[in-house]
Chain A
Amino acid sequence: MATKKFRCKVCGYVHEGDKAPEKCPMCQAPQSEFEEIVEEGAAPAKKGLNTNSNVYTIVYAAVMVVIVAFLLVFVSQTLKERQTANVINDTKQQILSALNLRDQADVAATYDKVITADALMQADGKLAEYEGEFNTSYKGEFDKGNLHVFVADIDGQKKFVIPMNGLGLWGTIWGYIALNDDRTTVYGVYFSHASETPGLGGEIASLKFQERFPGKSVVDNDEVALKVVKYGKADKSSQYEIDGVTGATITSTGVNAMINKVLSAYIPFLTKQCCKEGGCEEGSEECCEEHNVESND
């Protein structure tokens, strides 16, 4: 067996052997003054696993990662369906909010009742029925060149809702703008954001800011004229200028850039280009009615 060690409590001499010597060779202290030295680290190793060994550490890390990974996959898979349903519901609510139908109790039912068509704008400004699944990210659609227009029917009046995407100060911002049948007067707007500062840039999501839009005009001379300017700088008599959010200049500029970028792409639709180029008389109401998508069953 391994040799034990004994230390003399008087002088500190360490003796190696099976038992303590009868007298300390250094200071002559008796055997009773010796105590056994227990090696550190030896005791826990006997009790169980050595939690400091390399193998244990690696195995522990591997097992941990596998367990966590399975847990995450399981949670994500089981909840995916509900989550997608929630996102679709939320997107529909956002579209309805632009039509001033905020906080609906049954979003899906109201959406089906109010929105008559989910359409894509064609190059000449006509609308064609969109035949894919309901989208929840209109940024991807915009980048692909799929320009969505939602046709809505509010108390017999036709409205158009256009989804928008842009950048704020910290992250993405998005929104929907609802236009009257004349395709230039704003009926309502909805904005939201991923991570703008609460109380500053975050205020674009507030009713107070969004209420400044209805009644304004979007296009002038075939160009987007609607502008969000610095707070207090908007010309009250102008039908194109809107006050931004106090203390959130960059977010307000982002909203302005977003409106400009997205609506510029929609110019053919907004200016009823089909009426100008088509065979029928310029501005003729029938011409454009004909090209509009009628309600889906």
Chain B
Amino acid sequence: MANKNSEALKQPLWVNNPVLVQILGICSALAVTAQLKPAIVMGLSVTVIVAMSNVIISLLRNTIPNRIRIIIQLVVVAALVTIVSEILKAFAYDVSVQLSVYVGLIITNCILMGRLEAFAMQNGPWASFLDGIGNGLGYAAILVVVAFVRELFGSGTLFGFQVVPQCFYEAGYLNNGLMIMPPMALILAGCIIWYHRAKNKDLQEN
């Protein structure tokens, strides 16, 4: 059982990564990865929300009427996100300003519904909690990697601090404008998936 729980936590980090394998949450991954800071904020908030909603749905799983289970899941997620955002507004205003648009993106993030339906409906609260944390972190990890590359080559900064020295620019170095555009996030995610498939041969399709 302990083994199963640790699998629930570890699997989504790399082998069964939600972005790379389940291809969930791609749209928000495009939107927030132009810079590192929003990517990390988004990754952490998704982690917290997935874990919490996984636990709640897991506790309710035996009572939820089968025919309206998606609606119930949606209500739980939406209520949870709203409450968290209200609490942030009251006690951590700076963070809530940072999150602003992403709050809506969290509710519609397919990772949430995907995990609730695929995992929390069949498993106990503790396993579901770990699954939520694992999937959230797996998602965050991809966001951070993509955002790191995009910010470094697109703006020459990391976390907003200049890291490409001024003398590079004087020598003719230019920031890559394409890196900041959303399509580049897809291309980078594609490269990561390529590497991931090369390492995990059993996932390759013929």
Chain B, 56-89, CB within 8 A of any chain A CB: 62-68, 71-72, 75-76, 79, 82-83, 86-87, 89
Q: Is the CB of B67 within 8 A of A247?
A: no
**CB contact between A71 and one of B67, B71, B79 (< 8 Å): that residue:** B79
- B150: chain A residues at CB < 8 Å are 199
Q: Is the CB of B32 within 8 A of A57?
A: no
Interface size classification for chain B: 35 or more
- A57: chain B residues at CB < 8 Å are 65, 67-68
Q: Is the CB of B180 within 8 A of A199?
A: yes
**For the complex, what is the distance from the CA of A198 to the CA of B185, rounded to whole Å?**
13
Chain A CB within 8 A of B200 CB: no
Q: Is the CB of A56 within 8 A of B65?
A: yes
Q: How many A-B residue pairs have CB under 8 A?
A: 78
Q: Is the CB of B83 within 8 A of A75?
A: yes
Interface size on A, residues (CB 8 A): 29
Q: Is the CB of A68 within 8 A of B79?
A: yes
Interface secondary structure of A, over-half rule: helix
- A87: chain B residues at CB < 8 Å are 93
Q: Is the CB of A71 within 8 A of B83?
A: yes
Interface pick from A78-86, A180-188, A280-288? A78-86
Chain A CB within 8 A of B136 CB: no
**CB contact between B71 and one of A61, A194, A198 (< 8 Å): that residue:** A61
Chain B CB within 8 A of A11 CB: no
Chain A CB within 8 A of B171 CB: no
- A64: chain B residues at CB < 8 Å are 72, 75
**For the complex, what is the distance from the CA of A61 to the CA of B150, rounded to whole Å?**
45
- B53: chain A residues at CB < 8 Å are none
| A binding-site residues for B, Cβ under 8 Å | 51-52, 56-57, 60-61, 64-65, 68, 71-72, 75-76, 79, 82-83, 86-87, 89-90, 171, 194-195, 197-200, 246-247
